[in-house]
Structure 1
Amino acid sequence: MLSAAVVLMYQDYAYANVLAKHEAVVSVNKDLAYRSWVASHGGVYVPITDKTLPNTYLSHIKNRDVNTSASQQLTLMNPAYTLSQMMKDYSELYGTKGHITSRILMNPKNKPDSWEEKALEDVEITREAVYEKAIIDSEEYFRYLSPLVTEKSCLKCHAFQGYKIGDIRGGVSVSIPMKKFYEEAFSHSVVNASVIIIIYLLGLGVIFYGRRKTREILEDKIKDYEQHIFSLVNIIETRDSYTAGHTQRVAKYSVLIAKEMGFNEEKVDDMYRACMLHDIGKISTPDSILLKPGKLNALEYEIIKEHVVVSYELLSNVDIYKEIAEIVRHHHEHYDGSGYPQGLKGDEIPILSQIMTVADAFDAMTTNRIYKPRKSVKEAIKELNALSSKQFSTQIVNAATIALEDIEIEMSITQRPKSKIERERFAYFYKDQVTGIYNKEYLEFVLAYNHSDEFDMKYASGVYLHSFNQYNKKYGWAEGDKLLKKFAKILDGSGRNDLVFRIYGDDFVILNKQQIEIESYISNLEEVLIDTGITITYRHFDMREKDIKNIHDLEELL
């Protein structure tokens, strides 16, 4: 719009020159037409007055002055003298300066000024009109000089100067003041500028309104899209019920650390969104690994590490998440280069990724894990500092120490199952495939948390089968498995046992909250083993007295 205004202003002032030239041409043509008319009549006779005196330069002409009556005397006015007189009157009335000039003078008043002198030289060569803008008495004028060509009628007065027909005898010069044209151009420019400003303001209003509406629509779409994405994250967390709320907590901790480090609102927002989506790649992790509550083996660990790459690929293909995809990709890198997926170290790791790494670790430390009870905030911060410059950036750990020191951890946060359904899903990984009762890994878990109200088992019994290998050799593994399954079913179905575990091939453990007389139903188990050659032995003891805290303690007793 500004360019348009400048162009229009330039055109207005350029057009002022066109108008001035047009007026100059019209003025000169009018003068030449009048002169031609006078010349065609050999001059005109006018009354002699104080304003119109006889032309002294025509004194050589007979009958220059004539008497028409006793009271009136006329004098001959030649074309040049008549035109000069008219130009003088016109200049006084309208400001347009007219001048008849020549390089061979008959009247000194017709002497050319410096511009006219140069213009006459050009005219004699080109026989074309000359024009340009020039300054006269500190005012700008448009100057125009048209050549005077000698005609037969001109020789009556100018033959003695040596002119011949067709010679350039001089020129008619006119000077048009530019002020009025510039004023008109300025007025026109003001009108144009006003129109442009109005259009510009209206355009701005439309643009701002359109941008605001577009932004609102885009924000709504992004909000809806993110709600769908966050819903997907919630589905993943529901799928992995033992880490429910993990992303929200990591986002909360990361934002606090980022603000402590002085990041602006835009970066803090990137931090939050990256945290909310940092585990989205777990959608590709098999349930058998993702939901496994126990420790992962080497292969399983390699598979679950792929979730960061999947997260990156998913997010980098969405325009609104391209910037945060790189943050998510490296949130498992370690400051010393021992992390994954690329083994970056130090400042090679994006700073927001480093913040998320600290927040992620802090949440893991302050959450009850399967084999590891949660730490207090103070203990977690102490461990972060112990790993400073190794797993974590010292700068970020220092910020986290300040940002998280007063954080309140929800006591109910745990990886352990709470509902009946969660327990069943949980136990799915801890069921013995042959007998259907619990396995050794679940016994280890129960012993680790036996101090809580969730289990609180007080008594343990060990049941051992002897000579089972001979039975397998005689009847085959399939028959052996059937016998084990039948035995375990009776052992688990007595109705008095809280938890029954198969810990080795043919050894079993029973945990009870109430003391039982195991001898009272051993006879039922012995009936299953009649004619098999298999015998039973058992032991029973109080877990509190023996201070059993893990499976190693139990194995020593059994």
Structure 2
Amino acid sequence: MNTKVTYLKFIVVTLFLIWTILIVSILINWFSQENRHAERLALKEATVSIKKDLAYRSWVTSHGGVYVPITEHTQPNPYLAHIPNRDIKTETGQGLTLMNPAYAIKQTMKNYSELYGTKGRIVSNTPLNPDNKADKWESDSLNIIEDTRTPHHEIHPIDGQEHMRLIIPLFTEEGCLKCHGHQGYKVGDVRGGISASIALSPYYTSAVSRLKASLPYVAVVWLIGVATILLGYWRTRRYISEKIASYEQHIFSIVDMIENRDSYTAGHTKRVGKYASLIAKQMGYSDRAIDKLYRASMVHDVGKISTPDSILLKPGRLSPLERKIIQQHVVTSYQMLKRVDIFQGIAEIVRHHHEHYDGSGYPQGLKGEQIPMLSQIMSVADAFDAMTTDRVYKGRKTIQSALEELQLLGGKQFNAEVVKAAQIALKGVASPKSNQLPVNEIEKERFAYFYKDQLTGAYNRDYLNNMLLINSDKYSEAPYNCINLILLTNFTQYNKEQGWEKGNKILIDVTQSLIFSFPEALIFRIHGDDFIVLHKQHYPIEGELGPIDALLCDTGISLDTLHVNIKEDCIGSVDKLDNWLTLNSDETGSRAHDRISVNR
């Protein structure tokens, strides 16, 4: 899940960045558009201003100039001194001077600039009036106009402030030669231009103000987009979580089914997950790695679903062939897990948790560092749980003795570093309360398949052998100490005379009587007509066999008993019991023990 969530977070962060960059790009583009709009407005204003001046100039030029009264503020133009009749007097004696178009426009634009801030003037590279001399930008623009014969505009600084500068060419007309003819101009020549400069700062300020006014709306749109991304993230994450939970629940249900089939494995996966997590934590692994290991531990035996019941549920030791078959469960587990996306990251861990450090494990015989480290940790945890859990054929070890055995196997079956960490991490765990003995009717029926005599319902020789093996385990506390043998004499003769059906009924009735009389003991049928009653404590049963005596009355079958002390006589298997009986039989071949036998 962590991988998918990390990938989802990456997508969300990427979407967030893309959305934010998109909004910022829109704002930048918007700002740029506003600035360009401001520049267009400034250019338009400059154009309109010049066109007004040109209209005025056209009118003045069409009238050949205007005579205006000479006043303190309107003195004769010294640059028109070469023109005859520059100055005249009216009949009343009022002095008049010629106001030429250029001068009129200059004065008009000066007044316009003072009133509205628009800087405009007539400029030329060869002016009559030095005040009309073009500056550097205007001179360059006039040179451009000489070729293009069209207006030219550009953003250019004046006194450190950006201005929209426009210059429109003035073409020499017939009326212009009156004043400029002596300069060598001909009709149609560009003799100068009208320049206008509009400060851009007010327009830019207005654009920024409009942009600021729109920012709250942009912020709302951005927040809506972010909220949509987060909502999509939480919904997708919830979907992934639900999907993962569904997958995991499905797999865990399969694991539960397997564990419910086998009483020994009940709780096994959870304990392995717990032990593996403790070891990994001791080794300094991250929480993410520990979670991955725990999840792998929870499903590490899922492949056992394909293991035949006759092998999986067998309470006793497995034969070489059976062991080979059950070893296939790791391959099955791997194949099941790798097909599911959310389990692909743990499939390899599960696949190799039965590999041995020295290369003697399965399924691939990997060795040393070839085995994934998390698999090596799980291997130790799995073995530790097997050591500390009861089985029918083997008692469980104490926590300390299990750790000692792990220590002995360090560097051989297990990674020594993992074993070292396990010594610290697992020394304080509680011993699991589990066993493989039947505790309910279903488990009893499962045991019946393997360990019960089909005729009588008593346990068989194999189960007796397992119980004796448990008692002999040096790490386990022996649960049973007393064997009472019940030997039916002359039973074979009774079968021959009365038939197998009646003989079978005798065996069934004897078994039921023993079960009823000794509910706390285990009842076994061995050698066909012999029974064993296995007690936890020493129990003299001679006085408790009255019901069986009654069953055998008038059958010609006699009943012998024999008591064996399991610990004192070192009875660790059925073979040892048989050897003991052989050694302790009397010279006549009687099956009664010479110390405790009672002939009935």
TM-score grouping bracket, smaller chain normalisation: 0.7 to 0.9
**CA, structure 1 residues 342+191, in 2 after alignment: closer, same or farther (shift >3 Å)?**
farther
Identify the residue that residue 458 of structure 1 maps to in structure 2.
483
Name the SS of the counterpart of 1:361 in structure 2: helix
Identify the residue that residue 231 of structure 1 maps to in structure 2.
253
**What is the CA–CA distance in structure 2 between the aligned matches of 1:219 and 1:244, rounded to whole Å?**
27
Name the SS of the counterpart of 1:333 in structure 2: coil
Q: CA deviation at 1:501?
A: 3.6
Name the SS of the counterpart of 1:186 in structure 2: helix
Deviates more, 1:165-174 or 1:68-77: 68-77
Deviates more, 1:304-313 or 1:227-236: 227-236
Task: Give the 5 Å matches for 1:303-342.
Answer: 303-342=325-364
Do residues 106 (structure 1) and 128 (structure 2) align? yes
1:519-558 CA deviation, whole Å, 9 max, x = no partner? 969989998xxxxxxxx99985322164422122112124
Do residues 219 (structure 1) and 246 (structure 2) align? no
**Contact 2:167–2:196, Cα closer than 8 Å, also in 1:** yes
1:52-76 CA deviation, whole Å, 9 max, x = no partner? 2222222333343344563744332
**CA, structure 1 residues 419+285, in 2 after alignment: closer, same or farther (shift >3 Å)?**
same
Task: Give the 5 Å matches for 1:253-292.
Answer: 253-292=275-314
Q: CA deviation at 1:238?
A: 0.7
**What is the CA–CA distance in structure 2 between the aligned matches of 1:525 and 1:154, rounded to whole Å?**
163
Q: Number of residue pairs matched?
A: 534
Do residues 344 (structure 1) and 366 (structure 2) align? yes
Amino acid at match of 1:422: E
**CA, structure 1 residues 362+453, in 2 after alignment: closer, same or farther (shift >3 Å)?**
closer
**What is the CA–CA distance in structure 1 between the aligned matches of 2:176 and 2:26, rounded to whole Å?**
53
**CA, structure 1 residues 342+90, in 2 after alignment: closer, same or farther (shift >3 Å)?**
farther
Among residues 476, 500, 509, which one is paired with 1:493 in the alignment?
Answer: 509
**CA, structure 1 residues 554+30, in 2 after alignment: closer, same or farther (shift >3 Å)?**
same
Name the SS of the counterpart of 1:418 in structure 2: coil
Do residues 250 (structure 1) and 275 (structure 2) align? no
Deviates more, 1:127-136 or 1:398-407: 127-136
Identify the residue that residue 417 of structure 1 maps to in structure 2.
438
Name the SS of the counterpart of 1:147 in structure 2: strand
Amino acid at match of 2:507: L
**What is the CA–CA distance in structure 1 between the aligned matches of 2:131 and 2:196, rounded to whole Å?**
15
Instruction: Report the TM-score, using the length of structure 1 for normalisation.
Output: 0.85
**What is the CA–CA distance in structure 2 between the aligned matches of 1:58 and 1:172, rounded to whole Å?**
20
**What is the CA–CA distance in structure 1 between the aligned matches of 2:558 and 2:378, rounded to whole Å?**
54
Do residues 39 (structure 1) and 39 (structure 2) align? no
Do residues 207 (structure 1) and 229 (structure 2) align? yes
**Contact 1:449–1:455, Cα closer than 8 Å, also in 2:** no
**Contact 2:356–2:362, Cα closer than 8 Å, also in 1:** yes
Amino acid at match of 2:54: L
Identify the residue that residue 315 of structure 2 maps to in structure 1.
293
Identify the residue that residue 464 of structure 2 maps to in structure 1.
443
Name the SS of the counterpart of 2:105 in structure 1: helix
**Contact 2:357–2:368, Cα closer than 8 Å, also in 1:** yes
Unaligned runs of 5+ in 2: 1-22, 516-522, 535-539, 583-600
Q: CA deviation at 1:376?
A: 0.8
**What is the CA–CA distance in structure 1 between the aligned matches of 2:397 and 2:64, rounded to whole Å?**
126
**What is the CA–CA distance in structure 2 between the aligned matches of 1:524 and 1:272, rounded to whole Å?**
64
Amino acid at match of 1:37: W
Do residues 54 (structure 1) and 82 (structure 2) align? no
Deviates more, 1:8-17 or 1:421-430: 8-17
Do residues 555 (structure 1) and 578 (structure 2) align? yes
Q: CA deviation at 1:364?
A: 0.7
**What is the CA–CA distance in structure 2 between the aligned matches of 1:488 and 1:80, rounded to whole Å?**
145
Amino acid at match of 2:148: T
Amino acid at match of 1:555: D
**What is the CA–CA distance in structure 1 between the aligned matches of 2:135 and 2:204, rounded to whole Å?**
25
1:433-466 CA deviation, whole Å, 9 max, x = no partner? 7998654322211323469897665212567999
Identify the residue that residue 564 of structure 2 maps to in structure 1.
543
Q: CA deviation at 1:291?
A: 0.6
Q: CA deviation at 1:373?
A: 0.9
1:18-57 CA deviation, whole Å, 9 max, x = no partner? 3333333222222222222221222233333333222222
Q: CA deviation at 1:159?
A: 1.7
**What is the CA–CA distance in structure 2 between the aligned matches of 1:301 and 1:14, rounded to whole Å?**
84
**CA, structure 1 residues 139+525, in 2 after alignment: closer, same or farther (shift >3 Å)?**
farther
Name the SS of the counterpart of 1:273 in structure 2: helix
Name the SS of the counterpart of 2:27 in structure 1: helix
Amino acid at match of 2:564: M
**Contact 1:371–1:445, Cα closer than 8 Å, also in 2:** yes
Q: CA deviation at 1:379?
A: 0.8
Unaligned runs of 5+ in 1: 469-479, 528-535
Q: CA deviation at 1:269?
A: 2.0
**Contact 1:140–1:178, Cα closer than 8 Å, also in 2:** yes
**CA, structure 1 residues 484+342, in 2 after alignment: closer, same or farther (shift >3 Å)?**
farther
Instruction: Report the TM-score, using the length of structure 2 for normalisation.
Output: 0.80
Q: CA RMSD in A?
A: 3.4
Task: Give the 5 Å matches for 1:7-46.
Answer: 7-46=29-68
Q: CA deviation at 1:295?
A: 1.7
Among residues 148, 163, 170, which one is paired with 1:148 in the alignment?
Answer: 170
Task: Give the 5 Å matches for 1:139-178.
Answer: 139-178=161-200
